[in-house]
A and B are shown apart, each in its own frame.
Chain A
Amino acid sequence: MILDDRARSAPTRSPFRHYSDGLLGELIFPLIAVLAAFVVGGVMVLVVGDDPIQTYRLLLGSALSWPDGIGYTLFYATPLIFTGLAVLVAFRGGLLNIGAEGQLYVAAFATAWAGITFANLSAWALLPLCFLAAILAGAVWGAIPGVLKARFGSHEVITTIMLNFVAVALVGYFTQYHYKAPGDPIMQTTMIGGGAHIARLGRFIPGFPERIPLNLSFVFALIACLLVHLFLWRTTWGYEIRATGSNPQAAEYGGISIRKQMVLAMAVSGALAGMVGINEVLGYRYRHYDGFSANYGFTGIAVALLGRNHPVGVLFAAMLFGMMIRGGIFVDAFTNNVTKDLVDVLQGIVILFVAAEALFRGPFASHRLLKRSKI
């Protein structure tokens, strides 16, 4: 409010003016959407016969308790940061990557493949190899729709969706018939070499038990946010991707090869999605487990949307979704009537409200904060 008044009395002089307009304008709709979703969700909880306040306390309390709550929330957020960034990069390049799910499957399997095939190498050789496998596999699987679009004009929404099915089936086949321990009833590969395990954060943080699977991948995810930001806004390639995304004709007129940019954006997007394999295989299960992805690729779309296609937004959105995944399990278990479907409903409403931003924008269009934010 103070900020508000000062800005009003001396609009040009306030040092916070630009900051508040930009950041607040960006944050306000996602925040309203989340709050509104919780209000609607609360009504639903009432309808099914539970206490909404208790339910939300359970949801948030279990998601933010130390150490298990925080640990698992961040652990669940990690793959969503990667997939959110993946969708973001493609989106900035004017492409809709629905194929993060397939890209992360192929990458996770490739990671496990490298970890199994070269199991005897030392950690110094094996770890980079596994990283490379994850990133390259994701990038290649992502680049395919990019090439198809650049070369033949096939729509990336169709090709990425279809490649998801191919990826899941292909990986399932190799897991079942070539990389499974004989007689194992569970669809999973054998274990990767010990050198490829990456440390859990419990090793570095006192009082944080190592049984919580939060691992260094989370740190990598934070670094990835920074790198994506630098890549998109500080490099020529990033500039060209954004230019292609915002106006392909103008970009081409300006001398940018938009075909090259399509392939590049999709490859980077796929590589980011592929990094989920690092968290899953090297940091958590130490093997490829068929069906490990709880729709991370698709949730990534929602994360990017809620994060307004900005790396920082993606980070926060992924954490919010991580909280809901973690809390959803407790809501499911420890309330009488509410199941974790409530959390799916909440996510759905959040997305609906973010997408239907005009719903909020309309009545408040005259407000100062919103005039200048062009999103």
Chain B
Amino acid sequence: MDRFTLFLRAVLLCVLVPAGTACHRQRDSADDPSRIHVGIVFDIGGKDDRSFNAAAFAGVTCAETGKWPKGDTCGKPALEIVLRDIEPGNPTSIEPAMRAFAERGYDLIIGVGFAQAPIVETVAKDYPRIHFAIVDGVSELPNVASLIFKEHEGSYLVGLVAARTSRTGIIGFLGGMDIGLIHRFEKGYEEGARSVNPNIRVIQNYVGVTDAAWNNPGKGKELALAQIGKGADVIFTAAGNSGLGAFDAVEQAGRVNGRATHFVIGVDSNQNMVKPGFVLTSMVKRVDNAVYAIVQDVVNGKFQAGIHVYGLGQDGVGYSMDQYNKDLMAPETVREAEDAKKKIIAGQITVTDAMAK
């Protein structure tokens, strides 16, 4: 026997011997059939986008462990579920990911983002006995829950805050992909700003027209810098990962006497701590609440298909206040925003929904 065959045998031995012993291994707790199995498929941005997907991840993590992903309690009970997640990374992997959960007989499969709506629809048709939920999309199938948000209402409030805070009378809006859903943010923002300053100028830009627009912080920063160059001193981002570029841009603009000259308004998750001192507030979309609620429904056997709307009244949208921005917003601005919030909930103010036909 020469060295070559010896080598081959060694390789085979390495591969085959452990493979044989593995057959007797016990199944781990993840396969426990008595628990509710939840699979979540994130959007292209991934669960660490500190924004939309991060909010969804926070919701399912809270349902699984009773804690936020960082480890502090989320104030809700853990639901004894088995949770698995997939970050597809490219649009072609979304459907296979969803099908992987379906093939394994998961109880609830959550798709995050409007782009997954048609995919959820296709897969849900093939697996009518599995519950599906789609965040930001609408489906009319009897086993799909559509979780949608009144982003225009939350955007109205941060528009008001932006207009009150701006010294130049020019504010910016940075959208991700140029689509109806983001126009909804933009329209609400503009209306909120005009409600306190009818002469305000709103500069708006979109990062792009494809999926890639959510994941291009470089271009986000360029656009934000251009808006700053035109005089905008508060910029509201609704651009997923690309929005983080605007955070860099306002930081680059610097501080005078310890106070930032330009501010950014975060979106979806509370982004106040991303660049403390530069983030005026965040238009939070409580995807975490919505996702937790749908998991809870499935656990309690109360899953309902159809549209679940989350507005200001349901604590589904809002603006964030915490230790990072309490010194940035004037108390009268906060009072005004709270006032507007009450009026919207009461129906005294109607914010235009750019997606309504």
Contacts and interface: CB of A to CB of B under 8 A. Distances in A.
B121 to A, nearest CB: 12
Given A333-B39, A334-B104, A185 B4 contact: no
B209 A176 contact: yes
Contact of A363 (B3, B39, B84, B209): B3
B299 interface: no
A185 B90 contact: no
Given A176-B209, A364-B4, A186 B118 contact: yes
B274 interface: no
Contacts of B2: 366-367
Nearest to B19: A53
Contacts of B11: 32, 35-36, 39
A292 B92 CA distance: 6
B349 interface: no
Interface string B157-194: 00000000000000000000101110000000000000
B324 interface: no
Interface stretch (A90-98, A114-122, A152-160, A324-332): A324-332
Interface in B79-93: 84-87, 89-93
Interface in A252-295: 289-294
A294 B96 CA distance: 13
A172 interface: yes
A176 B2 CA distance: 62
Interface string A75-99: 0000000000000000000000000
A289 B91 CA distance: 10
Contacts of A363: 3-4, 7
Contact of B100 (A57, A293, A329): A329
Contact of A39 (B15, B87, B100, B179): B15
A53 B22 contact: yes
Contacts of B179: 185
A15 interface: no
B18 interface: yes
A183 interface: yes
B3 A291 contact: no
A131 interface: no
B70 interface: no
A57 B22 contact: yes
A68 B12 CA distance: 29
B186 to A, nearest CB: 15
Interface residues of B, number: 45
A332 B39 CA distance: 12
A38 B91 CA distance: 27
Nearest to B103: A68
A337 interface: no
Contact of A329 (B4, B93, B118, B177): B93
Interface string B119-158: 0000000100000000000000000000000000000000
Contacts of B19: 53, 56-57
Given A39-B14, A185-B115, A367-B2, A333 B91 contact: no
B238 to A, nearest CB: 14
Contacts of A53: 18-19, 21-22, 25
A72 B114 contact: no
B353 interface: no
Given A53-B22, A54-B25, A293-B92, A185 B177 contact: yes
B263 interface: no
A329 B92 contact: no
A68 B100 CA distance: 10
Contact of A291 (B22, B85, B91): B91
Interface of A: 4, 32, 35-36, 38-39, 51-54, 56-57, 62, 68, 72, 172, 176, 183, 185-187, 211, 289-294, 326, 329-330, 332-334, 339-340, 363-364, 366-367, 369-370
9 contacts: A32-B8, A172-B210, A183-B180, A185-B180, A291-B92, A291-B210, A333-B84, A363-B3, A366-B2
Given A185-B179, A289-B91, 18 more contacts: A35-B11, A36-B11, A39-B15, A52-B18, A54-B25, A56-B19, A57-B22, A329-B86, A329-B97, A329-B100, A330-B100, A332-B86, A332-B97, A333-B39, A333-B100, A334-B104, A367-B2, A369-B4
